[in-house]
Amino acid sequence: MIMNVNKVKNIKSQLLSKQCYTLNMLTFDYMMSNGEWVTQIRECYDRGDGAGILLYNKEKQTIILTRQFRMPTYMNDNTNGKLIEICAGMLDKDNPEACIIRETEEEVGYRLKSVKKIYEAYSSPGVMTEKMHFFIGEYKDDMKVNAGGGLESEHEDIEVLEIPFKEAIDMLNSGEIEDTRTIVLLQYAQIHKLLEL
């Protein structure tokens, strides 16, 4: 068994697109487990890192989710292209906590004072560099500072959904919630009994 050897060398990057984010084709040599070197080609999409949050209210036993149009899902069998999701956004050079506090106010209209980070994980490691930072945060009605809906300048059209936690879990179990980030945080809330079912 080969140990402590750099298993990647001769990395060459060819820019394929830089429209919204960066798409490169990478050619590199990779050492297989048996010690053989092979040349591999992969496309790698760099859109930066992101943060997402499950907002919950213990008193009302509710959570805040969003619904918005996602073109890639429309192109892959989602007939209206809309997904029910947690509030989330790109870091845009902020630290993850500052990002998710900003995104929460922009997307759903609540101004949070504090959040709790629970995970960070790669979104789709076969093709994307993105790492998501997962948070939970408790909201109360008096934290509402605007209607939310996203930034007009970014053409966001976000519907804010405040729903009972039990209903969200039913939506998860029925397959109505199809966003992986949302599934992760709803399951975290179930496991850690943030709210009652």
Topology at the third CATH level for domain 50-191 = Nucleoside Triphosphate Pyrophosphohydrolase (3.90.79)
Q: DSSP per residue over 111-180, as a string? A: --S--EEEEEEES-TTTB--EEEEEEEE--GGGB-S-----GGGT---EEEEEEHHHHHHHHHHT----H
Q: Answer for the pair 165, 60: CB distance below 8 angstroms, yes or no.
A: no
Average pLDDT over residues 88-111: 95
Distance (Å, whole) CA 135 – CA 2: 39
Average pLDDT over residues 172-196: 96
- DSSP 3-state of 102: helix
* Per-residue pLDDT tens over the stretch 29-40: 999 999 999 999
Boundaries of every domain in the chain: 8-46, 50-191
Nearest-CA neighbor of 86 among 36, 61, 113, 50? 50
Higher pLDDT, 53 or 197: 53
Quick one: what percent of the chain has pLDDT higher than 90? 88
Q: Which band of pLDDT confidence, cut at 50, 70 and 90, is reported for residue 151?
A: confident
Q: In this predicted structure, what is the pLDDT of residue 4?
A: 55
- DSSP 3-state of 60: coil
Please determine, for residue 1, whether its predicted confidence score (pLDDT) is greater than 60. Answer: no
Compute CA 90 distance to the chain's CA centroid, rounded to the nearest angstrom. Answer: 9
Q: Which band of pLDDT confidence, cut at 50, 70 and 90, is reported for residue 92?
A: confident
> How many Cβ atoms sit within 10 Å of the Cβ of residue 10?
10
Q: Answer for the pair 147, 109: CB distance below 8 angstroms, yes or no.
A: yes
* Tokens matching residue 195: 């709210």
